[in-house]
Amino acid sequence: MTDDATLCAYLDSASQLAGLTLTAETREPVAAQLRVLVSMAQLFEDIPLQADTDPATLLRL
């Protein structure tokens, strides 16, 4: 989901699947927020973690 056309296509299909209605007013601001989230996710999505890094242990403080 790196290029804008892919992101916009994802936005349309995913919002439909989620039951969210995007209007002329909301489509671009939501797309802008999704772009921010994608750029954030790219900062951690490929960090190698051990296969047994279990999310259920995250609050084992």
Can you give the binding site for other proteins, defined by CB under 8 A? 10-11, 14-15, 18-22, 26, 29-34, 36-37, 40-41, 43-45, 47, 49, 53-55, 57-61
**In the complex, minimum distance from the CB of residue 44 to other proteins, in angstroms, rounded to a whole number:** 4
Backbone angles phi, psi at 17, to 5 degrees: -65, -35
Sign of the Cα pseudo-torsion (21, 22, 23, 29, in order) = positive
Residue closer to other proteins (CB basis): 5 or 55: 55
**Where do the H-state alpha helices sit in the chain?**
4-18, 27-41
Residue closer to other proteins (CB basis): 5 or 19: 19
